[in-house]
Amino acid sequence: MSVRHLLAGLALLPALAFPATAAQAAQADPPQARFDLQAHRGGLGMTTEESLEGFGKAMRLGVSTLELDTHVTKDLRVVVNHDRQISGVKCRDTGPVTPGDPLYPYVGKYIKDLTLAQIKTLDCGYQQLPGFPEQEVVKGFRMVELKDVLDLVESYHARQVKLNVETKVEAGAPEQTAPREVFVRRVYEELHRSGIERQVTIQSFDWGALKLMHRLAPRRPLVALTNYDFLQVGRPGASPWLGGIDADDYGGDFVKAAATVPGVTTLSPNYGFPQHGKAGDPGFRFYSDAAMGAEAHARGLKVVPWTCDDPATVEALMDFGVDGIITDHPDHVRHIMAGRGMRLPRPYHPHGRS
């Protein structure tokens, strides 16, 4: 399939339960009891990131959502990986796919410039990720495709598990990833072919990608990501990350700006500044705070900040009323949830065994 064909296809797009009684409604679980526990990259604090072994372990533990990242290769395959450029910290070369391949070595190259066959030669399970001493290394791990993760979830019969799929379009440097239209179209096609697309939300820092996905799948819930910097508050014109929206038209307010993106149901900001800070650290402040939550909830939007692992900070966010948390350590956050008497996500096992 050619890029030209994909763009042409996009251009042709046209833009049973019983009623609850009052007593039953009064006994319904409060919103926080349905807390969205998201395993960041499958729970990279537990297992090699974005691996089938990691996603499987997270489902067996019991999470609400598998969070994952996507990129599109030179031959238009959708692979699951966070980094647009092959990281030498996570992957190592094992040899060229064909003798004399001019692109070899592949470490350091952009995924959009490599074929799936070239990518599959990379050993992305050769060492533990620094800073994550509990991480189980999946020896010899090869990068997987989005369809592999979808098939895995279906094989577990994990019908209550959501997949929060990020389109990693690099709006600030578009030459480093597949073209936005191609990227979104290919992710859409992979999801549409699966039997579980109703379990999927699409997230992106690139709100232009969210707008395109809404055109393709108007009913699919979308998640607006931000790290605040991408809003480019106080700078002339619209940020390239916001799909034509100028945050300054909304007073630099993330909630107000994101609420204008069609299809957005959830806001996903970084939890605080600095990004890896902790509650109580000198100079640390929350970005996803009670005021943001109240404003979002008043607009019918959920708030699920990323990526928080520190227990005290997680508890503070829960106290603010966030609707979920994206975390590298879903096992730790699940323990916190249990201690607070919150409803725990159901564990799943292969072939639907629980």
- The answer to the question of residue 314 being in a domain is yes
Residue 52 domain-assigned?
A: yes
Q: Give the global pTM.
A: 0.91
Does some domain include residue 13?
Answer: no
User: Where are any strands of DSSP class E within 264-335?
Assistant: 264-269, 272-273, 285-286, 302-303, 324-327
- Listing DSSP states for 180-214 in one string gives HHHHHHHHHHHHHHSS-GGGEEEEES-HHHHHHHH
Q: How many C-alpha atoms does 354 have within 13 Å on its Cβ side? A: 11
> What is the pLDDT confidence band of residue 351, given thresholds at 50, 70 and 90?
confident
Residue the block writes with tokens 């990131």: 49
**Residue 56: exposure state from Cβ atoms within 10 A (0-12, 13-18, ≥19):** buried
Q: Up-side HSE of residue 83: CA atoms within 13 Å toward CB? A: 15
Please check whether residue 209 lies inside any domain of the structure.
yes
pLDDT at 330: 99
DSSP single-letter state for residue 78? E
Minimal CA–CA distance to 162: which of 39, 327, 266? 39
Structural domain of residue 237, as residue ranges? Answer: 36-84+139-340
Residue 329 lies in a domain: yes
- Determine contact, residues 43/328, Cβ cutoff 8 Å: yes
The reply to whether 103 falls in a domain is no
**Burial bucket for residue 51 (CB in 10 Å: 0-12, 13-18, 19+):** buried
- Say how many residues make up the chain: 354
Distance of CA 43 to the CA centre of its chain: 12
Higher pLDDT residue, 2 or 162? 162
Domain for residue 327, yes or no? yes
- Where residue 199 falls among pLDDT bands split at 50, 70, 90? very high
Q: With respect to residue 230, please indicate whether it lies within any of the assigned structural domains.
A: yes
Asked whether residue 316 carries a pLDDT value surpassing 90, the answer given is yes
Number of domains, the chain? 1
pLDDT of residue 256: 99
Please name the residues in contact with 138: beta carbons below 8 A apart, sequence gap of 6 or more.
47, 48, 51, 53, 54, 125
CATH number at residue 277: 3.20.20.190
pLDDT band at 353 (very low <50, low <70, confident <90, very high): low
Q: Which residues lie across from 167 on neighbouring strands?
A: 70
> What SS3 class is residue 39?
strand
How does pLDDT run across 225-249, given as a tens digit for each residue? 999 999 999 999 999 999 999 999 9
In the prediction, which pLDDT does 11 show? 46
